[in-house]
Amino acid sequence: MNTKKCPRCEHQAILRPRNFSDQAVASLVSWGDMDRKIVGHPICDDCHEELRDALIDHQRAATEKEAAAGRARNRRAS
């Protein structure tokens, strides 16, 4: 199989197109996990996994923050 330099990590690897939603891409770019210049370009499996994990981690952090805010509101209302 042909390998090319991944535009994200610059390692030689087999590159594949990745289908992140527009919202996921916008989030990854705004968080600094993905450079705008690689949007729409194929990336390697390792980078795909890192970006997927970043989305999960950010979602988990947002959910935990939301839950903590809800608990704080409940304590104030009691």
3-state helix, strand, coil in the chain (%, to 5): 60, 10, 35
Tokens found for residue 53: 């994990």
Q: How much is the pLDDT for 2? A: 86
Q: How much is the pLDDT for 42? A: 97
Convert the pLDDT of each residue in 2-54 to its tens digit: 899 999 999 999 999 999 999 999 999 999 999 999 999 999 999 999 999 99
Tell whether the torsion through CA atoms of 4, 37, 24 and 11 is positive or negative: positive
Say whether pLDDT at 59 is over 90.
yes
* Three state DSSP letters for 55-73: HHHHHHHHHHHHHHHHHHH
